[in-house]
Amino acid sequence: MTTQLYNQHVEERRQRSTEILQETGYDGLVLSSGTAFRYFADDMHAPFHTNPHFAHWAPLPGPGHLLLVTKSDKPRLIRFAPDDYWYEQAPLDRDRWGQWFDIEELGSMEDCFDRLPSGQKLGFVGDATGLASKKGFGEADLNPEKLLRRLDWDRSLKTDYEIECTRQATVIAARGHRAAKECFENGGSELDIHHAYVQAAGCVDPDLPYNSIVALNERGAILHYEGKRTDGDGMVLLIDVGASHGGYASDITRTWTRSSADPVFVEMVNHFDALQKDLCQQVRPGLSYPDLHHAAHVAIGDLLYQFGVLKVPGEEAVEKQLTRTFFPHGLGHFLGIQVHDVGGHQKDPSGGTNPPHELHPYLRTTRTIEERMIFTVEPGLYFIDLLLDPQREGDHRDSFDWSLIDRLKPHGGIRIEDNVVVTADGHRNLTREELP
The boundaries of every CATH 3.40.350.10 domain in the chain are: 3-155
Residue 1 confidence (pLDDT): 54
Cβ-based neighbours of 352, under 8 Å, separated by 6 or more: 346
> Which CATH architecture group holds 3-155?
3-Layer(aba) Sandwich (3.40)
Residue 323 confidence (pLDDT): 98
Using one digit for the tens of pLDDT, what is the confidence trace for 89-146? 877 877 788 899 999 999 999 999 999 998 899 999 999 999 999 999 999 999 999 9
Calpha distance 21→158 (Å, rounded)? 20
Phi/psi of residue 39, nearest 5 degrees? -65, 155
Read off the amino acid at residue 428: R
Residue 180 confidence (pLDDT): 98
Calpha distance 377→334 (Å, rounded)? 10
The boundaries of every CATH 3.90.230.10 domain in the chain are: 160-429
**In 25-68, which ranges are continuous DSSP H helix?**
52-55
Residue 90 confidence (pLDDT): 76
Residue 73 confidence (pLDDT): 87
User: How large is the angle between the packed helices 160-185 and 190-201, nearest 10 degrees?
Assistant: 140
Terminal-residue alpha carbon distance, the chain: 25
Using one digit for the tens of pLDDT, what is the confidence trace for 385-399? 999 999 999 999 999
**In 310-364, which ranges are continuous DSSP H helix?**
314-319
Using one digit for the tens of pLDDT, what is the confidence trace for 240-276? 999 999 999 999 999 999 999 999 999 999 999 999 9
For residue 119, the 8-state DSSP code is S
pTM equals 0.96
Residue 94 confidence (pLDDT): 78
> Which stretches of the chain score pLDDT less than 70?
1
Phi/psi of residue 363, nearest 5 degrees? -70, 120
Q: How many of the other CB atoms lie within 10 Å of CB of 141?
A: 18
Superfamily of domain 160-429, CATH level 4: Creatinase/methionine aminopeptidase superfamily (3.90.230.10)
Residue 68 confidence (pLDDT): 98
